[in-house]
């Protein structure tokens, strides 16, 4: 069983930055394919970014490309999401997710484990 715990959310003004962290336990972290999703009120959960366990390959949603960077530190069992130039439209709950067998980056149903989420609020 994999446990994921996000941190780093908060309130930030438009144009600001936040760095989210996701600490994993219960599985060999280096074998997990990791991703980030977000969910705004009244909307479906949407893909933000993913990073491969095998080759560090990166994937970003078009809406976030150029403004976010996903990374991982296997020694610390932690993945990160650096977000810059934040907009009010980026407001939502951000979730960390993990796959033990890679099925694809962008669909929530492909992920086996989820964190509880961390709130990000961007004010205008």
Q: For 75-124, what is each residue's pLDDT tens digit?
A: 999 999 999 999 999 999 999 999 998 888 899 999 999 999 999 999 99
- If 0-12 CB within 10 Å is exposed, 13-18 middle and 19+ buried, where does residue 52 land? middle
Per-residue pLDDT band for 59 (boundaries 50, 70, 90) equals: very high
Report percent pLDDT > 90 for the chain.
Answer: 80
State yes or no: pLDDT of 70 exceeds 90: yes
* Confidence at residue 104, expressed as pLDDT on a 0 to 100 scale: 87
Averaged pLDDT of the chain: 94
Q: Name the strands in the sheet holding 18-25, side by side, starting at the edge strand that comes first in the sequence.
A: 3-7, 18-25, 78-83, 68-73
* Confidence at residue 89, expressed as pLDDT on a 0 to 100 scale: 94
């Amino acid at each position: 069983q994999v446990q994921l715990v996000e941190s780093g959310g908060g309130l930030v003004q438009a144009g600001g930055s936040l760095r989210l962290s996701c600490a994993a336990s219960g599985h060999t972290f280096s074998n997990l394919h990791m991703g980030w999703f977000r969910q705004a009120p009244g909307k479906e959960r949407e893909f933000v970014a993913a990073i491969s366990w095998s080759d560090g390959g990166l994937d970003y949603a078009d809406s976030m490309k150029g403004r976010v960077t996903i990374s991982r530190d296997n020694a610390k069992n932690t993945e990160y999401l650096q977000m810059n130039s934040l907009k009010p439209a980026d407001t939502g709950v951000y979730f960390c997710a993990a796959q033990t067998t890679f099925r694809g980056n962008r669909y929530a149903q492909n992920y086996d484990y989820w964190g509880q989420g961390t709130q990000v609020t961007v004010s205008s």
